Structure 1
Amino acid sequence: MIESMTPEQESNKPKRQFNNLVNNPVMEDYSLRYAPQSFRKWSEYAVATSALGGIAYLADFAIGASIFVTYGFASGVWAVILAAVVIFLTGIPIAYYSAKYNIDMDLLTRGAGFGYLGSTITSIIYASFTFIFFALEGSIMAQGINVYFGLPLPWAYLICSLLIIPLVVFGMTLLSKLQVWTQPIWLVLLVAPFLAILFKDPGAYGAWTHFTGNAKGGASVNFLSIGLGAGVALSLIAQIGEQVDYLRFMPEKTEKNSGKWWTAVISAGPGWVILGALKQLGGGFLAFYIFGALGATLAVEPIQQLIKGFGVLIPAPFIALTIATVFVFLSQVKINVTNAYSGSLSWSNFFSRMLHWHPGRVVWLFLNVGISLLLMEFGVFGFLNTVLGFYSNVAIAWIGAVVADLVINKPLLKLSPSYIEFKRAHLYTINPVGFGSMFIASVLSIIAFFGVLGSTAQAFSPFLAIVLAFVLSPIIAILTKGKYYVARPDALGHSAEEGDTHALNCVTCTDDYETPDMTYCPYHEGDICSLCCTLEKNCHDMCKKPGVIEVSMRK
């Protein structure tokens, strides 16, 4: 039962005030919230183009080059294709649910079997993805600056980190313009070296199919090499999180825009991996093209690959170097603004839950960039295969558990709610369905990654992770009978699946938010927004105790 408050106690209950960084929607970008309909003013094309602009990165060139140099053409091409198929299939349901319910990867994970704090660990997994790849992409940009200007790499790393920050401060509003304006130029520069080689040295493509690199088995297909190579490429599976950071701003799906809506969601969601796989193959080809002249170490550096590629198009060495450097710079800015942006969202989610404190997304932007800079200074690029191979085991277990909930537990077993419930007030702290399956799958796959279970399991450890997570999620859901998905019903009767978006006033911060972002709070005895609910540390989750909501609303 709820004890009545005296008028003095009621008047002393603090109202929440956010700083200017949080109150500015252009800077904050609804980092911890449902993206309201009133803010989503972009067209399907603009959202999709912004999302696809973020995959301009050249880490694909480096990853593909590393795979082909290490395992040769025969195994490398199958490794890239296998990873791409897995990434595409897992990305479809994630992109759909995010675009439909207008939420980011963290909020999606909460409602897809992980629970409120259970998804905290996935925030760290996702944040790790953003700063690892920010460091890799920044290293590639720094290599270009080093080659062109002769600036020492440590200073180049610093410059490549700091210049990203002002571009990310204004969130989707600025990023959408940046990605749309630069996309045509980037596409032309992307294909130019390959077309030049095709016309001037067409025999190179045929010779590439016989490339063995450093593969011990020569030119033949090696089963274990395919698994190891695919494991490196599968580290990119968490890229879908960055895609949905844009897709959450999709307009509502209607009968009139259904075709455009689906085209945008599929192309900018799972579709990113099609271009990604092509870039990995391109990086593998260019690595082969310069392997004989520069050796294995330099062959995996995109700047070296592009200098040679543009050199075929433009014989003047300085001009070719200049164009290659411009392309590297443009590509890495386009992706690292996305890495920094998504990282700031992920850290915001993590710290708001752990500390009940939200100084604004922009503050965590500096943290994410700072960690990335440290990784660059420690030479993360030199350990590309090892870092990405290890990371993929954890990332794919997370994605596998989420996908299993979206495609099995919700529509088939109907043990998970048909919509995505992301509000703290309605979720259990831990849901063993998603969190448990991810934990078990990632632990076993990491054990396999270090060779404890034999060479085959070591090579295919990421696949072990996704299979285990995908199978365990529905099994645990059945065993728990779906008990840990929803802690209490929506007292206001406006769940996310109903599409009710009229505004309500938050009793704590006194701002207006659309109904999917609101819930009833017995502690404050009124409607409260999801962020104020997240940050409240004095209520001790009283709303989830039996009978509390009913008694409070009768009062």
Structure 2
Amino acid sequence: MSTTESRLTTTDPAKPGRDQAVRETLEDYTLRFAPRSYRRWSPMVVATTALGGIAYMADFSIGAGIGLAHGTGNALVAIAVAAVVIFVTGFPLAYYAARYNIDLDLITRGSGFGYYGSVLTSVIFASFTFIFFALEGSIMAQGLRLGLGLPLWLGYAVSTLMVIPLVIYGMKALSKLQVWTTPIWLLLMVAPLVYLVATDPGTVDRFLAYAGTGGDGGVNTASVLLGAGVCLSLIAQIGEQIDYLRFMPPRTGANKRGWWTAVIMAGPGWVVLGALKQAIGVFLAVYILTRVGPATATEPIQQFKGAFDAMMPSWLVLPLAVALVVISQIKINVTNAYSGSLAWTNSFTRVTGRYPGRMVFVLVNLGIALTLMEADMFSFLNGILGFYSNCAIAWVVTVATDIMINKYLLKLSPHAPEFRRGMLHAVNPVGVVAFVAASGLSIAMYFHVLGDTLQPYSPVAAAVLAFVLTPLMAIVTRGRYYLRRTDDGIAEPLFDADGNPSAVTYDCHVCHQSYERPDVTACRTHDAVVCSLCLSTDKVGDHILPAGA
């Protein structure tokens, strides 16, 4: 137990749930603003930790699936198109997380959705975490079956249960795990690829010439968009990057260059490595295709077994391939379990006013993921990701557009993000309408409701509609639904002279803990302040400030 937790006292024995929430969220400031006193890591340590979370093997499967279906040319263009969209939309989100030290749900609340409206997107993000946990768990189970002879059902269970001890301890444990395992992972991933290209240049020619199943080798729009739609399902990965980026130290004149480098690398920059892994997946799938067939060429364990076969003794091949898969699965699935538990807990606490404990939702998330694995989701991977991408694109583009256009260009959205209950309207039609319309229409297109011709264009429709409707709704509503009130009742400024969130502390009169300025508001019925989480668990509204004029 941390020193902060051991000081916890309460004068309200009738609210044990609130006390539990305080104890748990003070471990790594889940569900709330991350204070300066906790953010002791350097920018590059935060960046390395965040990038460790993208060690997942799904990229190899995604790239291989697109490449085998549509050919190398279409796959590479699709991967590039998706990477550009993900980078552009991820940049403003990463900046806001690092600058204001809040996660993507808190950013979403003040960027067009409102206090309860962002529950929609929290569920979308939670779905992302259990879908990709199941995908990575399936890949690990394939490795355990090949290397140790474990049946798939047992491999699914092992890959699920082994992350529970690691995810309990939050950012402190995860930062150490990611930093120490990243060099090993990089060496095992890059070495076989370099060896193949250096010793057999013909593999590159065969890779570039591969035309796909029944393809003619040419690049066509429909194939590119179908492939890009699958890749764009990863657009919500920025949410997991932000779960680390919110711990960035304050930006100052002294650390400005390192700060920006870390934010770009670990924020939108994750997609550069992701796109590279997808291209490698196509390369390795084409390389082993004639030996294993299309059914298993998309399995990363088979891809790296084939690559290791070419460069080392046979007795070492399987152990190294299995080690790579296991390390990758652990690195990403601790992040999936951690981020998913935050998303579920955040939504549940807002809707019910109760905090059941983050570990409850770790188990819920893992239970859903295990069910997906046992249902053999790997066999219909592209279908799941293609459908999911429509929702994820609509959400991320809506929030990114609100920041870039509504905040900075139109100035209809408040420049500084707001997330505290009482300061926001329950629902803001700007983001909610744009998101629902964009995702609804694109999903209809994906399921051929609007005809077969338009089906490949569903991800484009999701992005374009979200981009157009978000500023349009802000203009129509004249920005009236962003803030319920503009004054939080405290005279101290929210930001210091450098524009960073203020480090001045106040004591919450409900839970009796100290919190920094951005995490508190004045209390309606007491001459005191109350923290954001105690506001969230206030079922009767006793502490919530009245609406402004």
- The answer to whether TM tops 0.5 is yes
> Does the aligned pair in 2 maintain the 1:26–1:170 contact within 8 Å?
no
Counterpart mapping for 1:255-270 below 5 A: 255-270=253-268
For residues 90-139 of structure 1, the C-alpha deviation after alignment (integer angstroms, 9 at most, x for no partner) is 11000000000000010010011100000001000000000000000010
Aligned to 1:434: 431
Aligned to 1:278: 276
For residues 407-458 of structure 1, the C-alpha deviation after alignment (integer angstroms, 9 at most, x for no partner) is 0100111111110000011000000111110011001111111122233431
Provide the C-alpha distance between the structure 2 equivalents of 1:255 and 1:113, rounded to a whole number of angstroms: 31
Show structure 2 runs of 5+ residues with no match.
1-10
Provide the C-alpha distance between the structure 2 equivalents of 1:531 and 1:338, rounded to a whole number of angstroms: 23
- The amino acid across from 1:509 in the alignment is C
- The amino acid across from 1:330 in the alignment is I
Partner SS, residue 209 of structure 1? helix
What's the CA shift for 1:317?
2.2
- The amino acid across from 1:333 in the alignment is I
What's the CA shift for 1:206?
1.1
**Aligned counterpart for 2:414 among listed residues 399, 414, 417:** 417
Provide the C-alpha distance between the structure 1 equivalents of 2:369 and 2:493, rounded to a whole number of angstroms: 38
Aligned to 2:300: 302
Provide the C-alpha distance between the structure 1 equivalents of 2:63 and 2:83, rounded to a whole number of angstroms: 12
- The amino acid across from 2:204 in the alignment is Y
Provide the C-alpha distance between the structure 1 equivalents of 2:173 and 2:418, rounded to a whole number of angstroms: 30
Aligned to 2:188: 189
For residues 60-107 of structure 1, the C-alpha deviation after alignment (integer angstroms, 9 at most, x for no partner) is 000000000111112111011100110011110000000000000100
> Does the aligned pair in 2 maintain the 1:109–1:119 contact within 8 Å?
yes
Provide the C-alpha distance between the structure 2 equivalents of 1:49 and 1:418, rounded to a whole number of angstroms: 29
Counterpart mapping for 1:6-405 below 5 A: 16-17=15-16, 22-24=21-23, 28-214=27-213, 216-314=214-312, 316-405=313-402
Show structure 1 runs of 5+ residues with no match.
1-11, 548-555
Distance 1:432 1:207, change over 3 A: same
Distance 1:20 1:295, change over 3 A: farther
Matched, 1:518 2:520: yes
> Does the aligned pair in 1 maintain the 2:138–2:373 contact within 8 Å?
yes
Root-mean-square deviation (Å): 1.8
What's the CA shift for 1:318?
2.8
> Does the aligned pair in 2 maintain the 1:95–1:270 contact within 8 Å?
yes
Provide the C-alpha distance between the structure 2 equivalents of 1:80 and 1:175, rounded to a whole number of angstroms: 29
> Does the aligned pair in 2 maintain the 1:27–1:362 contact within 8 Å?
no
Counterpart mapping for 1:447-462 below 5 A: 447-462=444-459
Provide the C-alpha distance between the structure 2 equivalents of 1:27 and 1:280, rounded to a whole number of angstroms: 38
> Does the aligned pair in 2 maintain the 1:420–1:496 contact within 8 Å?
no
What's the CA shift for 1:294?
1.2
For residues 492-513 of structure 1, the C-alpha deviation after alignment (integer angstroms, 9 at most, x for no partner) is 1446445322111111111111
- Give the aligned length: 535
- The amino acid across from 2:377 in the alignment is V
Provide the C-alpha distance between the structure 2 equivalents of 1:98 and 1:496, rounded to a whole number of angstroms: 16
Distance 1:543 1:417, change over 3 A: same
Provide the C-alpha distance between the structure 2 equivalents of 1:298 and 1:199, rounded to a whole number of angstroms: 25
Q: 457-466 vs 18-27, which deviates more?
A: 18-27
What's the CA shift for 1:200?
2.2
Provide the C-alpha distance between the structure 1 equivalents of 2:502 and 2:270, rounded to a whole number of angstroms: 31
Provide the C-alpha distance between the structure 2 equivalents of 1:539 and 1:14, rounded to a whole number of angstroms: 19
> Does the aligned pair in 2 maintain the 1:68–1:76 contact within 8 Å?
yes
For residues 339-372 of structure 1, the C-alpha deviation after alignment (integer angstroms, 9 at most, x for no partner) is 1111011011111011111133222111111111
Partner SS, residue 528 of structure 1? strand
- The amino acid across from 1:490 in the alignment is D
Distance 1:126 1:14, change over 3 A: same
Partner SS, residue 519 of structure 1? strand
> Does the aligned pair in 1 maintain the 2:24–2:357 contact within 8 Å?
no
**Aligned counterpart for 1:464 among listed residues 449, 453, 461:** 461
Identity %: 52
Aligned to 2:6: none
Partner SS, residue 412 of structure 2? coil
Partner SS, residue 29 of structure 2? coil
Provide the C-alpha distance between the structure 1 equivalents of 2:261 and 2:245, rounded to a whole number of angstroms: 12
What's the CA shift for 1:28?
4.0
Provide the C-alpha distance between the structure 2 equivalents of 1:248 and 1:362, rounded to a whole number of angstroms: 21
Partner SS, residue 544 of structure 1? coil
Partner SS, residue 529 of structure 2? strand
Provide the C-alpha distance between the structure 2 equivalents of 1:346 and 1:187, rounded to a whole number of angstroms: 29
> Does the aligned pair in 2 maintain the 1:21–1:27 contact within 8 Å?
no
Provide the C-alpha distance between the structure 2 equivalents of 1:243 and 1:373, rounded to a whole number of angstroms: 23
Q: TM-score, normalised by structure 2?
A: 0.94
- The amino acid across from 2:305 in the alignment is I
> Does the aligned pair in 1 maintain the 2:524–2:546 contact within 8 Å?
no
Provide the C-alpha distance between the structure 1 equivalents of 2:30 and 2:164, rounded to a whole number of angstroms: 17
> Does the aligned pair in 2 maintain the 1:431–1:485 contact within 8 Å?
yes
Aligned to 1:504: 506
For residues 222-278 of structure 1, the C-alpha deviation after alignment (integer angstroms, 9 at most, x for no partner) is 210000000000000000000000000000000000000000000000000000000
Provide the C-alpha distance between the structure 2 equivalents of 1:35 and 1:324, rounded to a whole number of angstroms: 38
Provide the C-alpha distance between the structure 2 equivalents of 1:495 and 1:360, rounded to a whole number of angstroms: 32
Aligned to 2:536: 534
- The amino acid across from 1:172 in the alignment is M
Provide the C-alpha distance between the structure 2 equivalents of 1:64 and 1:126, rounded to a whole number of angstroms: 22
